[in-house]
Amino acid sequence: MIDTKVKLCGITLDNPIIPASGTFGFGYEYAEFYDINILGSFSFKGTTKEARFGNPPPRIAEGKSGMLNTVGLQNPGVDNVIKDLMPKIKKVFKKKVMANISGFSIDEYVYCCKQISKCPQIGWIELNISCPNVHGGGMAFGTDPELAAKVVKAVKKVITKPLIVKLSPNVTDIVAIAKAVEKAGADGISLINTIPGMRINLKTREPILRNKFGGYSGDAIFPIAVRMVYQVAHAVKIPVVGMGGISTAEDVIEMMLAGATAVEVGSANIVDPLACKKIINDLPRAMKKYNIKSLKDIIGGCK
């Protein structure tokens, strides 16, 4: 009997597959392609206090083994998400959903998290302190252990849901950041976010992206993500959600062996809207191939 269930911060998931924030909208968009209730959960689009139009286009560029994006947290603002979009999510998704929250100050993080925590369908808050595509916020908190701890402590005071802190790979010591947020009260950690990159148009000799730089994601960053998940999972006692270049059932198993309790699938959703469905359907085959009866048993299995 194959068992794909895992438990993330006290909540049981039917499987560890979670579409990553920024690649799955607010869920209902993908419900047009398949029944998204087969997912373990999903992390909805990064949400801020005020509505944001994001960065000017062009804001997507392809790479040989991935893609660059500089969308810039385009979203309708947390109050509109709660009022208009949470009811839409409820119609198509019956499980707990992960709320990805970003901010430009501690006060903004606190406000957004406090408001979204009131929604019954929210299972976890994913605190994004790692976004490289906005100026004046986001990643600034994720590259300094003291700032990261400060925002976590402030948010924990006003929420009732488990707090998962999303870390940036663009640091010298990922373990130091992870330990800081764990000590500050984080219930879990997710990583990695995108890695800054750039493409140049050979004809115009100008950057392809209007913002010049963007966050690189896709297959190329998978080995980096596995390494960082392994390092963090072996350094903290709270669960880790691994992401970065996952596109197959084998990738999921490898990431879980590194120490991930669950995984987030990002760019693969943009390449193929059915990516997560295909991974979930293929998990039993991959588990059988590698003699895995329960996914819970392989978490952190690589020593």
Residues annotated catalytic, as ranges: 131
User: Contact, 140 vs 166, CB < 8 A?
Assistant: no
DSSP string, 119-168: -TTEEEEEEE---SSSSSSTHHHHT-HHHHHHHHHHHHTT--S-EEEEPP
Report residue 294 CA to chain centroid gap: 24
Q: Residue 126's closest CA among 189, 194, 37? A: 189
Cis ω on the peptide bond leading into residue 58 (within 30° of 0)? Answer: yes
Torsion of CA 12, 235, 190, 176, to 10 degrees: 150
Q: Residue 268's closest CA among 277, 259, 281? A: 277
Alpha-carbon distance of 15 to 33, in angstroms, equals 19
Other CB atoms within 10 Å distance of the CB of residue 37: 11
Alpha-carbon distance of 78 to 116, in angstroms, equals 7
Q: Which two tokens stand for residue 39?
A: 């997912």
